[in-house]
A and B are shown apart, each in its own frame.
Chain A
């Protein structure tokens, strides 16, 4: 079965430190990969995506993500966390041929001052 896993329900990091939010997937073919962020009482906002090419993708608000085909992972990263980055982060994977979207269960990021 197709699935997206975010193994950490919560990630805690101090402001100014680097952060990583993990995502692995089991989706056939060479899917497209996305990260979204959700602030309280808001809809999801697009952060970045991997379609093809360079394995390191840069996105909004200083976030980047690293695609690893052999490990079927797409981890979200930021070199220096801000308190305002505290939110819920979702990894999403889309099949190229069948157009289906699969979301992970989300990771709550807490950045402490």
Chain B
């Protein structure tokens, strides 16, 4: 079974620029998550999709971050404009529908904002 795919793996941008990350979940997984992991901290949920609907985006900085999940499969996370404090690893995860199911994580995208 193929895992969660993410691209790019690394990205370096200057502040005020924009950036987009892509995620392809495990086939058949209805739930998709985007997390931000700052060095030395645990992952922080940014947004959770159930199929192509948003379940929770309470911690997404909506003035600069946006995400979409077209057709309930792939997802993109965008930051515009980026700030220095956005430097982090952005993790995508997917799971089967239902709270009992564990999440499967992609390798992450390491973003450096200079």
Interface residues of A (CB under 8 A from B): 4, 32, 34, 36, 41-46, 49, 51, 90, 94-96, 99-101, 103-106
Partner among A42, A43, A46, A104 whose Cβ is within 8 Å of the Cβ of B102: A46
A34 touches B102 (CB 8 A): yes
Q: How far is the CA of A101 from the CA of B102 in the complex (A)?
A: 10
A106 touches B99 (CB 8 A): no
Residues of chain A with a CB closer than 8 A to B93's CB: 43-44
Number of interface residues of B (CB under 8 A): 22
Partner among B33, B42, B91, B103 whose Cβ is within 8 Å of the Cβ of A104: B42
Chain B residues 59-75 with CB under 8 Å of chain A are none
Q: How far is the CA of A44 from the CA of B6 in the complex (A)?
A: 13
Known: A100-B45, A100-B56. A46 touches B99 (CB 8 A): no
Q: How far is the CA of A41 from the CA of B37 in the complex (A)?
A: 12
B108 touches A43 (CB 8 A): yes
- Closest residue of chain B to A106 (Cβ to Cβ) is B42
Known: A43-B108, A106-B41. A99 touches B99 (CB 8 A): yes
The 10 closest A-B pairs by CB, nearest first: A43-B105, A103-B42, A46-B102, A44-B105, A105-B42, A43-B107, A103-B43, A99-B99, A51-B100, A43-B106
Q: How far is the CA of A59 from the CA of B52 in the complex (A)?
A: 32
Q: How far is the CA of A94 from the CA of B48 in the complex (A)?
A: 13
Residues of chain B with a CB closer than 8 A to A34's CB: 102
Interface residues of B (CB under 8 A from A): 4, 33, 40-45, 48, 55-56, 91, 93, 99-100, 102-108
A43 touches B99 (CB 8 A): no
Would you list 20 pairs from A and B whose C-beta atoms are within 8 A, ordered by A residue? Answer: A4-B42, A32-B100, A42-B107, A43-B91, A43-B107, A43-B108, A44-B93, A44-B103, A45-B105, A90-B43, A94-B99, A95-B99, A96-B99, A101-B33, A101-B45, A101-B103, A105-B40, A106-B40, A106-B41, A106-B42
Q: How far is the CA of A44 from the CA of B55 in the complex (A)?
A: 22
Partner among B4, B55, B107 whose Cβ is within 8 Å of the Cβ of A99: B55
Q: How far is the CA of A90 from the CA of B45 in the complex (A)?
A: 14
